[in-house]
């Protein structure tokens, strides 16, 4: 079986965050097919684990999501800025969204969010050794509410359907595996 | 804190699979901001669990993904057709992509793949009691390779980074929890 390959492309839209590209792909059968592709700069997400003696919590954020026109409960996350490394971006987003700084960072996973139509790659971190940052949170424009969830609730959250965001499901499922919950 | 709301919209593009919409959202601070939003019909994904005596395997598919211009290993999945229910879609995609039919279906999760910029909702199923369909597979245009992975490899796959697709990570992590692997 010979391979698929891109034989032509055309840009439809270039926005502030997204670009839309039309690809012509020649398949193994020799036939060309059109593919609508969203180009995305890439993103990070963070599982912030708060450990206060016996009490362990994950920090989530509840925020308005325009595509759904409602709020969603998610792990902190954000889009890569030009020239920014994934880890720098994760540190910035954790501070901006939760007001915490982390002493220890671990990579949990790296994946494509929707490889069927978009090239977004997401870098997922575990942040431990959390310490509150002093002063106001830098990004007051985010309008989100921080929620601290005790780890005892994780099992229920992973099976009840209340987590409706893909990266949050991945982050919390991998955390539960890591901590053998 | 008052709520965010959509105050205007404009369609940028209407394609075969995707639509692109520009929203004006008024935030709790009264300021309007632009949001680029991809509209998607929704999708399904299936964790097909093959149980042959003591041997248990999950069935994955390796296929070319145009946005990445390379192949990716994923659980079977597909986009909802107009008027099609998620379960009907899951049955069709399982048959088309793997050549199997399942006697038992369980919902594992339902989530937004990328709620920051797209409204795609994905319905994730566990398919058990698999039986091979006779004859040729209906969808010969998919050009994918079926791979049967023994469950003993799941632990390693979830931590090694070889799974690069979000829905596949969610499906296999939830399967591991369910089977207490």
| Domain A43-178 is found in CATH 3.90.79.10 | yes
Among B32, B115, B176, most A C-beta atoms within 10 A, so best to mutate, is: B115
CB A52 within 8 A of CB A18: no
If pLDDT is split at 50, 70 and 90, which confidence band does B138 have? low
Q: Of A66, A38, A116, A122, whose CA–CA distance to B20 is shortest?
A: A38
Q: Tell the burial category of B81 from Cβ atoms under 10 Å away from its Cβ (0-12, 13-18, 19+).
A: exposed
Tokens for A173?
């499922």
The alpha carbon of residue B54 is apart from the nearest alpha carbon of chain A, in Å, by 24
Tokens for A46?
């963070």
Which residues of B fall within a CB distance of 8 Å from A173? 169-170, 173-174, 177
Q: Tell me how far apart the alpha carbons of residues A176 and A45 are, in angstroms, rounded to a whole number.
A: 16
- In angstroms, the Cα distances linking B71 to A66, A124, A173, B14 are 32, 22, 25, 27
Q: pLDDT below 70 — which residues of chain A?
A: 1-2, 136-142
Which of B27, B119, B165 is facing A115, going by the closest CB pair? B165
Q: What is the pLDDT of residue B150?
A: 97
DSSP A67: T
Question: Taking residues B108-121, what's their average pLDDT?
Answer: 98
CATH for B43-108+125-178? 3.90.79.10
Which residues, 6+ apart, have CB-to-CB distance to A74 below 8 Å?
Answer: A45, A60, A61, A62, A63, A165, A167, A168, B115
Q: What is the pLDDT of residue A137?
A: 61
Q: Tell me how far apart the alpha carbons of residues A46 and A59 are, in angstroms, rounded to a whole number.
A: 9
pLDDT tens, position by position, B52-68: 888 999 999 999 999 99
Q: Tell the burial category of B68 from Cβ atoms under 10 Å away from its Cβ (0-12, 13-18, 19+).
A: middle
Taking all residues of chain B, what is their mean pLDDT, rounded to a whole number? 95
pLDDT tens, position by position, B62-114: 999 999 999 999 999 999 999 999 999 999 999 999 999 999 999 999 999 99
Q: Of B141, B74, B62, B128, whose CA–CA distance to B101 is shortest?
A: B128
- Interface touch B66/A164, C-beta < 8 Å: no
Q: Tell the burial category of B130 from Cβ atoms under 10 Å away from its Cβ (0-12, 13-18, 19+).
A: buried
CB A39 within 8 A of CB A15: no
Least confident of A29-38, B116-125, B133-142, B161-170: B133-142
- Given A52, A131, A140, A156, which residue is catalytic? A140
A93 is catalytic: no
Q: Tell the burial category of A114 from Cβ atoms under 10 Å away from its Cβ (0-12, 13-18, 19+).
A: buried
Q: Which residue has the tokens 């994946």?
A: A111
Which of A64, A111, A117 is facing B166, going by the closest CB pair? A111
Asked if residue B157 has pLDDT above 90, the reply is yes
The alpha carbon of residue B53 is apart from the nearest alpha carbon of chain A, in Å, by 27
Q: What is the pLDDT of residue B65?
A: 98
pTM as predicted: 0.96
User: pLDDT exceeding 70 applies to what percent of chain B?
Assistant: 95
Can you spell out the DSSP letters for A70-108? EEEEE--EEEPPTT--HHHHHHHHHHHHHSEEEEEEEEE
- CB under 8 A, 24+ apart: contacts of A160-163: A161/B109, A161/B110, A162/A73, A163/A73, A163/B109, A163/B111
Asked if residue B28 has pLDDT above 60, the reply is yes
Q: What is the pLDDT of residue A143?
A: 85
Which residues of A fall within a CB distance of 8 Å from B163? 109, 111
- Interface touch B112/A176, C-beta < 8 Å: no
CB A99 within 8 A of CB A61: no
Q: Tell me how far apart the alpha carbons of residues A84 and A96 are, in angstroms, rounded to a whole number.
A: 15
Beta-bridge partner residues of A145: A62
Tokens for A170?
């991945």
- Interface touch B174/A158, C-beta < 8 Å: yes
Q: Where are the domains of chain A?
A: 5-39, 43-178
Which of B20, B119, B176 is facing A68, going by the closest CB pair? B119
CB B64 within 8 A of CB A4: yes
Q: What is the pLDDT of residue B53?
A: 86
């Amino acid at each position: 079986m010979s391979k698929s390959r891109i034989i032509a492309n055309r840009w439809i839209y270039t926005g502030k965050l997204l670009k839309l590209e039309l690809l012509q792909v020649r398949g193994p059968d020799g036939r060309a097919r059109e593919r609508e592709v969203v180009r995305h700069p890439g993103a990070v997400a963070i599982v912030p684990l708060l450990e206060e003696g016996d009490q362990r919590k994950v920090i989530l954020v509840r925020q308005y999501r325009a595509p759904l026109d409602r709020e969603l409960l998610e792990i902190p996350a954000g889009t890569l800025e030009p020239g920014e490394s994934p880890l720098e971006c994760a540190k910035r987003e954790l501070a901006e969204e939760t007001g915490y700084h982390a002493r220890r960072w671990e990579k949990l996973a790296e994946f494509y969010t929707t490889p069927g139509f978009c090239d977004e790659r997401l870098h997922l971190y575990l942040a431990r050794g959390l310490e509150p940052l002093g002063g106001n949170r830098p990004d007051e424009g985010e309008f989100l509410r921080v929620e601290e969830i005790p780890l005892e609730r994780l099992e229920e959250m992973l099976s009840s359907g209340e987590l409706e965001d893909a990266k949050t499901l991945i982050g919390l499922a991998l955390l539960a595996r890591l901590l053998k919950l």
